[in-house]
């Protein structure tokens, strides 16, 4: 695993020219392997491929969707590995039916190295104990015996009390969890401040899977007394980008080649702004993911970063393409604009915005019992200012917002 750790760290220090050269060589190796060992790419990648032509050839290849992989998965699996030596995994299923995919052993080592390397940005050290909160934990803990897992679909104060106790008694140093767990957990800690419950002693928190708004991050950092960094990853291709101390997402250029495409067209988005993230995994030779459409919307940023790393950065991870929200007039609204309406409303511990099939909107909020009508009226006023006065908005005050089967609780959703 040391080789992978060194490569991941070195790649973050490459300037643009050195990175282009480094990734070009790895694209050449991957494309050559895919051409020679997979049915799908056998006739798409030319025999005269060279390192200098690798990016041009990549640009000629089709984008690959989950639907294509699900329908023709065997055509993407490499015949260079006996099937018994490949490891079968599945996506979380948050976008529908889980997608089966395969990894080779070296790809698994790379994934473990990513967890360790990017975890170190939040204070993790190999050998330190960490706690992961989520369902269906991918089997990456065998390499280290210091992971604790925990999950509840309907956490209440007694569950949060047991979580706080577990963090303390097991001397956990890093907490990895969704914002939809972190936010109510810190709310519990705030309510329990005068009781025997003590604040866990953590080095850092890693927020995963869902957007974390700035005000919520500040509350978590204040109550847990440690930095909170966000991570952008998928089970299919691993960690795509991770936040540094400057709270900027650095692309994992050591493992991924990322392209940015227009939201509604299969062509590169040269204008910046909201883009679809198209990812080529440079590490998984067992089932090459080449120009894989993640379904995620991101906003590329400008390097360099104040942390000193030279890798490309992302300004924001905006959500899923198919969860894009539209106004009654058909205009698209950015998820960030919707989420930011709750930043200065501390009464709202958690929320979910849902666009229904009929075009109306439902906003579920978890608040203190005494918040009542004033908060709901203020939320309605703000959202009509974004969606239009003709928009039909209902606001529900609920005790909790249940997660999807994947464990995620997306703040912005569109009814399918």
Tell me the per-residue pLDDT of 44-89, one tens digit each, with 9 for 90 and over: 999 999 999 999 999 999 999 988 998 899 999 999 999 999 999 9
CATH topology of domain 324-414: GMP Synthetase; Chain A, domain 3 (3.30.300)
Domains of the chain by residue range:
2-112+231-322, 123-226, 324-414
Q: Which residue has the tokens 């500040």?
A: 218
What is the mean pLDDT of the segment spanning 286-311?
A: 93
User: What tokens appear for 336 in the block?
Assistant: 């960030």
Mean pLDDT of the chain: 88
pLDDT at 195: 62
Q: Are 299 and 315 in contact (CB under 8 A)?
A: yes
Q: Are 286 and 102 in contact (CB under 8 A)?
A: yes
User: What tokens appear for 254 in the block?
Assistant: 């050591």
Q: Residue 267 phi/psi, 5° resolution?
A: -150, 155
Q: What is the DSSP letter of 268?
A: B
Name which CATH class applies to 123-226. alpha beta
Share of the chain above pLDDT 90, in %: 57
Q: Which residue has the higher pLDDT, 407 or 46?
A: 46
Question: Is 2-112+231-322's fold the same as 123-226's?
Answer: yes
User: Is the preceding omega at residue 304 within 30 degrees of 0, hence cis?
Assistant: yes
pLDDT at 274 over 90: no
CATH of 2-112+231-322, one of 3.10.450.50, 2.20.25.650, 2.40.30.30, 3.40.50.12780: 3.40.50.12780
pLDDT at 407: 65
Of 107, 144, 106, 118, give the one whose Cα is nearest residue 8.
Answer: 118
């Amino acid at each position: 695993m040391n080789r992978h750790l060194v490569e991941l760290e070195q790649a973050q220090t490459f300037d643009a020219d050195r990175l282009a050269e480094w990734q070009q060589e790895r694209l050449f190796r991957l494309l050559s392997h895919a051409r020679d060992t997979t049915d799908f790419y056998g006739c798409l990648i030319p025999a005269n491929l060279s390192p200098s032509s690798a990016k041009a050839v990549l640009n000629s290849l089709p984008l690959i969707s989950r639907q294509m992989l699900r329908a023709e998965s065997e055509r993407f699996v490499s015949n260079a590995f006996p099937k018994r030596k490949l490891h079968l995994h599945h996506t979380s299923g948050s976008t529908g039916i889980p997608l089966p995919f395969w990894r080779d052993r070296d790809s698994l080592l790379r994934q473990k190295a990513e967890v360790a390397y990017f975890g170190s940005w939040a204070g993790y050290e190999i050998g330190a104990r960490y706690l992961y909160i989520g369902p269906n934990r991918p089997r990456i803990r065998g390499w280290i015996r210091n992971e604790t897992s925990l999950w509840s679909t309907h956490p209440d104060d007694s569950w949060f009390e047991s979580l706080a106790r577990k963090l303390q008694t097991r001397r956990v140093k890093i907490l990895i969890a969704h914002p939809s767990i972190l936010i109510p957990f810190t709310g519990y800690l705030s309510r329990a401040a005068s009781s025997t419950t003590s604040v866990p002693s953590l080095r850092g928190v890693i927020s995963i899977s869902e957007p974390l708004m700035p005000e919520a991050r500040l509350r978590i950092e204040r109550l847990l007394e440690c930095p909170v960094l966000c991570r952008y990853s998928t089970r299919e291709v691993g960690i795509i980008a991770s936040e540094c101390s400057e709270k900027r997402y650095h692309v994992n250029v050591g493992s991924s080649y990322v392209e940015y495409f227009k939201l509604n067209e299969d062509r590169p988005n040269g204008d910046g702004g909201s883009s679809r993230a198209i990812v080529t995994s440079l590490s998984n030779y067992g089932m090459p993911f080449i120009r894989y459409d993640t379904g995620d919307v991101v906003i590329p940023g400008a390097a360099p970063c104040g942390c000193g790393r030279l890798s490309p950065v992302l300004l924001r991870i905006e959500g899923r393409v198919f969860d894009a929200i539209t106004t009654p007039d058909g205009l698209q609204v950015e998820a960030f604009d919707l989420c930011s309406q709750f930043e200065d409303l501390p009464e709202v511990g958690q929320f979910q915005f849902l666009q229904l099939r009929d075009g109306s909107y439902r906003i579920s909020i978890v608040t203190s019992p005494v918040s009542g009508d004033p908060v709901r009226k203020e939320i309605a006023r703000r959202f009509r200012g974004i969606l239009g006065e003709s928009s039909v908005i209902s606001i529900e005050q609920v005790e909790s917002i249940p997660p999807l089967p994947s464990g995620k609780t997306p703040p912005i959703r569109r009814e399918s």
